Amino acid sequence: MSVRKLDKARGSMIGAAYGDSNWHLGYRATYRTDLVAATASGLLDMIPRNIDCIWDEYLRWYWAQKKIPQMADSGLAEVFESARMGTFNQLHKDVKGCNAVERVSPVGIAYYDDTEFAFHVALCVAVMTHGEPEDYMPAAYLATMIAYLISGESLEASMSHSREKVIAFSASKKKATIDAIDRATVAVNNEIPVKTARYFRESEDEDQRLRGSEALAIALYSVLKSPEDPIQAVAIASSLSPEPGSALIAGAIAGAMHGLAPFMWELADQGIDTEPYAKLDGMAMDLLLKEP
């Protein structure tokens, strides 16, 4: 196990939490970071080829918290209340939003050396709560991209390889995710001035929650716009997004590129207590060192 891979894994986990908390004044992480941690915890308990441990961890977390105001309009509470895990045979079609993408980055850490498996595990984890391809396909893309980045691939190569897996999976379910990737790339390559999330939205209704593909597009744009500065990449995502999801995703990607140090330095500079991040840091190390 290389020290660099371990640093990237830790950076991805802490970067996600930093992105989530950066969106708020006062650096307060939300339930989104809790669900990233729940995914990691479930993966650490996971019996090979059996993802029920992750679902069990989500339910355990939910029933311990119960009332989370920010989650009220996400549809997640209803899914957890029902205790019915979504599958491709029984989808939760009424739940829409970007949480499926937000919480899967630990899958890419755990299976950085098996990107095919990472892709399919992330799909199943996303489908537990979200039944539309606009929300679950970007999750598979993100986890795969994280895996490639941790294994040492460049940002461009990681995006390209992950894009190919989305295309190969399903012709009918790929459109929103491929459009999101291409929209972000075109905006950066053509220096299109992007001031709000509207550029990345598929719907004209700006009051609607970001879909997974939209949140992914903002995150990719932000990282492509500032590939050498992870803190700036998160700041761009925070400024463009109407909710924390895109900044969390950008942080997970940027951390898998640059490692742990930039986020810890920034937290120290801001006088933020880093103790709450210690559990996530430990989980990242455990995921990378986990026996197959």
Rounded Cα distance between 178 and 109, Å, is: 23
pLDDT tier for residue 26 given thresholds of 50, 70 and 90: low
Highest averaged pLDDT of the listed ranges 50-64, 71-85, 105-119: 105-119
**Domains of the chain as residue ranges with CATH:** 3-289 (1.10.4080.10)
Provide the sign of the torsion angle of the four alpha carbons 10, 49, 41, 144, taken in this order: positive
Q: Nearest-CA neighbor of 279 among 65, 63, 52, 44?
A: 44
Q: What is the mean pLDDT of residues 174-179?
A: 91
What percentage of the chain exceeds 70 in pLDDT?
91
Least confident of 66-70, 86-90, 128-132: 66-70
pLDDT of residue 271: 82
Q: How far apart are CA 101 and CA 120, in angstroms?
A: 13
**Which of these, 115, 199, 107, lies nearest to 159 by C-alpha position?**
115
